[in-house]
Amino acid sequence: MSGTGLTQRTFDCVVVGAGNGGLGAAAQLAAKGVKVLLLEQHNVPGGFASSFVRGRFEFESAMHLVADVGPADHKGGVRQFLEDDLGICLDWREIPEAFRLIVTDPEEAMDVTLKYGVNEYLSTIDRAVPGARDSVAKYIDLCFEVVDALAYLGASRGNPDRKVLTSRYANFLKTAPYSVDQVANALKVPKKAQAIFHAPWVYLGPPTSRLNFTVFAGMMAKLIQFSAFIPPNRSHEFTSAVEARIRELGGETEFNTQVDQLLVEGGQVRGVLTSKGETILTRHVVANVSSALVYNRLVSPKLEVPAIAWRESNARRFATSAVTVYLGLDAPPRELGLNEYSYFVNESTDTDAAYARFGRLEAPMVQASACLNNALPDCSPAGTSILSLTTLARPEAWQGVSAQDYVAVKDRMARALITQFENATGAPVSKHIEEIEVAAPPTYARYTGGHGGTIYGYEPDNWDSLIPRMMAMREEARIQGLQFCGGYAFRCHGYSSSFMSGQTAGLLTLASLMDERR
């Protein structure tokens, strides 16, 4: 192997991709004194965790909220990692409510706003569905047991005591192979109460009939316990702070540099070849990209990819992409009647039907939307507001859209989302649009290079969710020195999950480095 310069660079570890997962991995390694290089194809860190400017508005690209942060006196895992391990302190702003759910079907109609906290959840759902309190309380308790069990598994470093698991976390083990619907039905949670509690399912993608309960329970427990936060200056404040800290800790970062090849010899990582023609030597790579991309395009020579690695990767289901309408409005939120931050607007409570609609170029059945000003009042000029409307979309639905029809299809979907939101909330959004931008699966594909523009990694089905992926982590290390992080990794997708998966990948790489040095 040879580089373009006289001196060939060598690193303990190279991290591919400066999305949340890659940033977390590089920061963890740098904090432990590892000689680490973070490579990113774009000119800024963050991946989806980014922002952009149109006119006098700066729009958040993708983040709705960050879970597992918690207040300063009751820190969640993300805040602990940032502050206690990395020394990064951000001025986090709490989102004022969990969400407002509006279901527009006349037979299922409801308009419910939930606040954070167990008692708030229970009281609100019980008012909407009298008699539901006891079953929902059991459901929430189970969600908290899941989080406690996952914390125990993490602390056990892959070697849990079976007696502890079976005695203390028996319900966690029982529910691990089941879907959200199956667990809620077993606890006899009324259907309407389920519809309210399950409203955030779109943050994960699959319908509740397929969405693994462990993954959903972990998300909900952390939202209820720690609420949700965002940084004042959007995702860039978060990602830029982590990238800067990596350099302060002695790590290196390079932008506008794509990894074209992952060099492997004898089943062991040997280095990477960049788009600049440079070969960088290393025995450890943390990939913040999909295993499909790594095994099908990056590993060189191809003969070094074990057949089982291809089969495992190809068996997984790529998750959804999205259609997002970014709106800069020439009126403040209160004038428009926008009193909440988070909105779930559903045509009905049928998540299977809503998911099926993601695969068609039709008006959406569900959207997850946010008025940024209701968490960050000064995020836009005085007398204005920022509203984003998002629905999910299967990438294959957009593959047949021709270049000539692309803009028209995007506009049609945008109009449908705006109309749906206006009809549900009564907010006269269309009369106050000053700036509008629309992102569709091809937009996300161009920006990130992700398959079809997927924003959610691999879908967390029961057979391919957090626990199966965690159990298979050692077996799936098919190439020595290769770790995965980010939305495609074992913690599944999500802003905080992707970031924390980087911490795990960093610690696993550190353990391997220490073993090599003994």
Angle at 33 between CA 27 and CA 38, to 5 degrees: 40
Range of the domain at 176: 118-227
* 242 and 215 co-located in one domain: no
Predicted confidence (pLDDT) per residue in 441-469, tens digit: 999 998 888 889 999 999 999 999 888 88
Asked whether residue 468 falls in the same domain as residue 385, the answer is: no
Residue 151 has pLDDT above 50, yes or no: yes
Q: Which of 98, 93, 48, 50 is nearest to 69 (CA)?
A: 93
Residue 5 has pLDDT above 60, yes or no: no
Give the model's pLDDT for residue 474.
66
Residue 475: band (very low, low, confident or very high) from pLDDT cuts 50, 70, 90: low
The reply to whether 258 and 368 lie within a common domain is no
Is the pLDDT at 70 greater than 80? The verdict is yes
Secondary structure element (H or E) that encloses residue 483, with its range? strand 482-484
Q: Looking at the 3D structure of the chain, how many domains does it have?
A: 3
**pLDDT number for residue 355:** 97
Q: Is 203 left (phi over 0), alpha (psi -120 to 50) or beta?
A: alpha
Question: How many CB atoms within 10 Å of residue 156?
Answer: 12
Is residue 18 pLDDT above 60, yes or no?
yes
pLDDT at 6: 52
In a domain, 164, yes or no: yes
Return the pLDDT at 158: 62
Which of 451, 466, 500 terminates a domain? The answer is 451
- pLDDT, tens digit (0-9, with 9 covering 90-100), for 226-250: 999 999 998 999 999 999 999 999 9
Q: Is the pLDDT at 3 greater than 60, yes or no?
A: no
Interatomic CA distance for residues 237 and 23, integer angstroms: 13
Q: Kindly tell me if the per-residue pLDDT of 21 is higher than 90.
A: yes
**pLDDT of 436 strictly over 70:** yes
Q: What is the CATH number of the domain that holds 61?
A: 3.50.50.60
395 and 381 share one domain: yes
pLDDT digits (tens, 9 = 90+) for 347-356: 999 999 999 9
Angle, CA 390 vertex, CA 385 and CA 396 arms, to 5°:
150
Do 296 and 344 fall within a single domain?
no
Distance separating alpha carbons of residues 211 and 204, to the nearest angstrom: 8
End position of a domain, from candidates 170, 204, 227: 227
Q: Among the three residues 179, 204, 227, which one is the final residue of a domain in this structure?
A: 227
Task: Tell me if 4 is assigned to some domain.
Answer: no
CB 14 within 8 A of CB 258: no
C-alpha 440/C-alpha 320 separation (Å) is: 11
Same domain, 148 and 218: yes
Percentage of the chain lying above the pLDDT 90 cut = 86
Q: 462 and 444, same structural domain?
A: no
Whether the per-residue pLDDT at 477 is higher than 80: the answer is: no
Does the pLDDT at position 172 exceed 70? yes
**Over the stretch 271-282, which tens digit does the pLDDT of each residue have?**
999 999 999 999
For residue 157, tell me if it sits in a domain. yes
Burial of 56 (0-12, 13-18, 19+ CB in 10 A): exposed
Co-location of 443 and 324 in the same domain: yes
Instruction: Give the best-scoring range by mean pLDDT among 42-51, 226-235, 379-388, 494-503.
Output: 379-388
Is residue 355 located within the same domain as residue 414?
yes
351 within some domain: yes
The separation between CA 443 and the C-alpha centre of its own chain, rounded to angstroms, equals 18
Say yes or no to pLDDT of 367 above 90.
yes
Domain match, 215 and 294 both: no
Flag whether pLDDT at 507 surpasses 50: yes
Residue 204 in domain = yes
The percentage of the chain sitting over the pLDDT mark of 70, rounded to a whole number, equals: 97
Least confident of 9-13, 42-46, 368-372, 423-427: 42-46
Q: Are residues 308 and 369 in the same domain?
A: no
Any domain includes 3: no
Give me the pLDDT at residue 476, please: 60
Confidence band of 4 (pLDDT split at 50, 70, 90):
very low
Domain co-membership, 82 together with 66: yes
In a domain, 110, yes or no: no
pLDDT, the chain, mean: 94
**Beta bridge mates, 318:** 458
C-beta atoms surrounding 229 within 10 Å: 23
Q: Which helix (H) or strand (E) covers residue 144, if one does?
A: helix 133-155
237 falls within a domain: yes
